A and B are shown apart, each in its own frame.
Chain A
Amino acid sequence: MDKLQFKPKSRWREFIGEKFIALSALSALVAIFLIFAFIFKESIPIFTDPDIKEEASVDKMVFKQEFYEGREAKWSWQPNSEVPKYSLLPLFIGTIKAALIAMLFAVPLGVGAAVYSAEFASRRMREFIKPIIELLAGIPSVVLGFLALIVLATFLQKTFGFVFRLNTINAGIALGLAVIPIVFTVAEDAMTSVPKSLRDAALALGANPWQVSMTVVLPAALPGIAAGIVLGFGRAIGETMIVLMASGNAAIISASFTDSIRTISATIAAELAEVVFGSAHYSVLFFLGTLLFVFTFFINLGGDYILGRLKIKFQGRMK
């Protein structure tokens, strides 16, 4: 019994160790807060500085503007102009359109691959497929962007006869390639972690493997799959290099997926490097960054909420 007693000294170590671990967990929180504070701070002049407000106030960014007297009012993103135009709508539409195509492409493929890998593939096959799909996540986005710019765009244009070589579909598919591994990994993990007892019960009731997967495992794993989709969507919205290279970067308001788009992230990347420090344009770019931050934050928050609700629902039913 004596041997098991801890000396006060080791309690101290324990205490320090515990605090250190807590601190490292906290550091991520602090980092997020500081990043947000800094980005937001740089965009404050939009609300306070009269000169900058004159050029780019919030209502000028949101509402249709009659930029030249007598000409039709419209939304336009032309920051370097005699009459600078900072409408955010074209950039928002572009971002959403690209993410939409990416999800349409990545979700069926990612979830399908996950179902196959978790449910139907032999052990050897699974050990072969899983690392390969996850390897896709390791490809630098600049490489995917380059591929879309050079190869994919030409292929799509030749196959479908698109007028614009660099368009939403081209960028969306390349973006989808970056999203697939996220959806796949999370969905696959969710399905493999469904308790064996559930499968056994279904099999004992006479279900065949297909029925087990579709009616028992898949519904049970839905929260995990939803989480994968939400995380993938967050990536699709924030991803920069792929859209910068493959989308054509034309700030157009249109419902067509064969037109070019300009996303928020690509705009920040392309323009921030050479913008005049402290100008209206500079503040607007940081404002865009703030919006992007808030946007992805709430997507993740919303995803977490859905996830929690689904979990309660399924666990409730399983009891």
Chain B
Amino acid sequence: MKKTIFATMILLMAVGLLSAGGTITIKGSDTLVRLGQRWAEEYMKINPETVIQVSGGGSGTGIAALLNGGTDICEASRDMKEKEYKLAKEKGIDPYRISVSLDGISVFLNEKNPVKELSFAQLKGIYTGAVTNWKEVGGSDARIIVYGRENNSGTYAFFKEHVLDEEDFSEYTQTLPGTAAVVNAVAKDINGIGYGGIAWATGVKFAAVRKNDKDPAILPSMETVSNGTYPISRELYWFFNGKPEGELKKLVNWALSEEGQKVAEAMDYIPLSKEIAEKNKVK
């Protein structure tokens, strides 16, 4: 009995030592961290000799780690800023960007609300508090009840950046813990409006969103986010130091494969279209 335990321990240590050579670290965006972890788990099932460590901390943290050589892959829900590209050059790092998935944020309305579509300008007005009555955006004469997310969520930051142009949310914005709570509140509140991930909407309707008056209003769906026509969407990136090779190349190409993208879809992220995924693969 003792012998078997001893043997197992030796074996485990040997495995640990061997795989230490094949350890990949992934760090960055909190939006992507769940997907990164899931991809790592699935990938390690197929390739047990590889060990992948995934951690979050935010896109900024991930990028800083990449620039300091502290991580192999940096996950980011935004592109690197000019300053960061410059810093990378100084440090002799050559950032290589691959978009691995998509993310869309939908606007929820109560099913009884006659308003069907909203422009970016109208959304900005509503969320900054300049527009307070549904009448002003083509609805009935009633106070707009604004629901949002807590100020540390990635969704909050994304909405603030893309729709509000970094202006502050109205102080009347009611913040709720989690998208599910926002959906629930809007479902119960005829005059409510909320925002959140696309997979969440039950009991509420989506508002079609137009970027400006010329563009058509687009309803959010897997398809419109995936082909880029829905305006409140973003690409989620993996950054490498130089073009990925070896194990890194194998990993990113697997994430972009049909199998990898299916994992993303199951986790409520929006998968890349087949053509784009194929194009993004490292040759």
Interface residues of A (CB under 8 A from B): 76-82, 85, 90, 149-150, 153-154, 163-166, 244-245, 248-252, 259-260, 262, 270-271, 273-276
Contact = CB atoms under 8 A, between A and B. Distances in A.
B145 A165 contact: yes
B193 to A, nearest CB: 13
Interface residues of B, number: 27
Contact of B150 (A82, A260, A270): A270
B151 interface: yes
Interface string B157-181: 1001000001011011111110001
A149 B181 contact: yes
A249 B174 contact: yes
A250 B188 contact: no
Interface of B: 30, 58, 143, 145, 150-153, 156-157, 160, 166, 168-169, 171-177, 181, 184-185, 188-189, 192
A270 B176 CA distance: 9
**Chain A interface main SS type:** loop
B184 A275 contact: no
Contacts of A81: 168
A79 B171 contact: no
Nearest to B57: A276
B145 A164 contact: yes
Contacts of A275: 152
Nearest to B174: A248
Given A163-B143, A164-B174, A82 B152 contact: no
Contacts of B188: 150, 153-154, 165
Would you list the 3 A-B pairs with minimal beta carbon distance, nearest first?
A248-B174, A274-B152, A80-B151
A245 B152 contact: no
B172 A252 contact: yes
Given A163-B143, A244-B177, A260-B174, A273 B168 contact: no
Given A249-B176, A252-B172, A274-B152, A82 B185 contact: no
A245 B150 contact: no
Contacts of A90: 171
Nearest to A269: B177
A80 B152 contact: yes
Contacts of A260: 172, 174
Contacts of A163: 143, 145
Nearest to B170: A250
25 contacts: A78-B151, A78-B168, A79-B151, A80-B152, A80-B156, A80-B157, A80-B160, A82-B166, A149-B184, A150-B184, A163-B145, A165-B145, A165-B189, A248-B174, A249-B176, A250-B175, A252-B171, A252-B172, A259-B172, A270-B175, A271-B151, A273-B152, A274-B152, A274-B153, A275-B152
A166 B147 CA distance: 10
Contacts of A249: 150, 174-176
A90 B176 CA distance: 17
Contact of A166 (B150, B160, B177, B185): B185
Interface centre among B172, B173, B175, B192 (most CB of A within 10 A): B175
Contacts of B176: 248-249
A77 B152 CA distance: 13
A310 to B, nearest CB: 42
